Amino acid sequence: MKLKEIYELAIETGIKADLRGEDKVQEDLDRLKEKYNKMDEDEKEEFDTEKLENPYSDTRILYGDSDREVNKILVGVDIDVGEVLIADRLNEKGEGEKVDLVMAHHPEGKALAALYQVMHMQEDILHKHGVPINVAEGIMAERISEVERGIMPLNHNKARDAARIFDIPLMCVHTPADNLVTSFLQEKIDEKDPERVEDVVKLLKDIPEYKEAVGVKAGPKVVVGSEERRTGKVVVDMTGGTGGSKEAFENLSQAGVGTLVCMHIGEEHREKAEENHINVIIAGHIASDSIGMNLFLDKLQQNDIEVVPCSGLIRIER
């Protein structure tokens, strides 16, 4: 496959698994195109035109010719200079196919700088779970601004610059993979309709990535509530850039959500969940990211691309 075909497949796969639904995603893209067409030339010059086709600002080709052929990729949850050096070292050793692409899950470069932009999808997801859309937009506005300010001081391009020096293509696949794991888990939970929190934990531990994570003390854990409690409505909350507003817990509780399954949770968010009597299960960050990436990587392997896992990726083929 060419690099651009991998990128396009990531976007297509992410849209199909998007909790908002394909029609809503396309509606937002069409609305953005209308705004773009009305911009003056200076505004158009600064505009990221990839956003007209790709709704995920945190998923980008960061370095490399989009027409470059890719047969073997080094994939990790986090990619930094060290992982780019690993790819170069593997190529220098000359054992088997060259590494043609380094793929990160977590965003780097301009995809990290624009991470906050994808968080607007959380507004629609909250609305889907019963929170009025005006409330969802209101509580997310402050959190999105907070994340934007937090990212500003970071040195975004370290890994990208290393990839450029060694001339190894680099890309990241973030929200599309998070959409995949969220949809995958929500479907499993809805199908089993667990009555108690312990039933959800057992369901998670039966999934290979979480089973392996248990062995390294990073498996599913109840951090609010207890395993004996009844679940109520179970919601998987693992997509939309990064953690949302801590104010959402009150609204989710009022909307009838009883249990959240998350990758991770901050202490302030955990306290808000506890105040509002929402059970919280931390499934595990790296294991959850691995599931999302694995579901995408399986599609690449079907196209005869060799995958070399690194940087925490628990590679399980389905």
**pLDDT at residue 96, as a whole number:** 78
Task: Give me the amino acid identity at 137.
Answer: E
Rounded-to-integer distance, Cα 221 and Cα 284, Å:
8
Instruction: Spell out the residues 6+ positions from residue 60 whose beta carbon is closer than 8 angstroms to its own.
Output: 7, 50, 54, 107, 109, 110, 111, 171, 172
The predicted-structure confidence for 150-178, as pLDDT tens digits, reads as follows 999 999 999 999 999 999 999 999 999 99
**pLDDT at residue 94, as a whole number:** 82
Six-digit token pair at 225? Answer: 């509530």
Q: Which of 243, 284, 278, 279 is nearest to 263 (CA)?
A: 284
**pLDDT at residue 219, as a whole number:** 95
Helices 175-192 + 3-16 axis angle, to 10: 40
pTM of the model: 0.97
**pLDDT at residue 8, as a whole number:** 98
**pLDDT at residue 287, as a whole number:** 98
**pLDDT at residue 97, as a whole number:** 82
Which residues of the chain are under the pLDDT cut of 50?
A: none
The predicted-structure confidence for 300-314, as pLDDT tens digits, reads as follows 999 999 999 999 999
**pLDDT at residue 95, as a whole number:** 74
HSE toward the beta carbon, residue 65, CA cutoff 13 A: 6
Domains (ranges, CATH) in the chain? 3-175+289-310 (no CATH), 180-285 (3.40.1390)
Q: Which of 103, 111, 118, 125 is nearest to 262 (CA)?
A: 125
**pLDDT at residue 89, as a whole number:** 96
> Does the annotation place 174 within a ligand binding site?
no
Q: Which of 110, 116, 112 is nearest to 48 (CA)?
A: 110
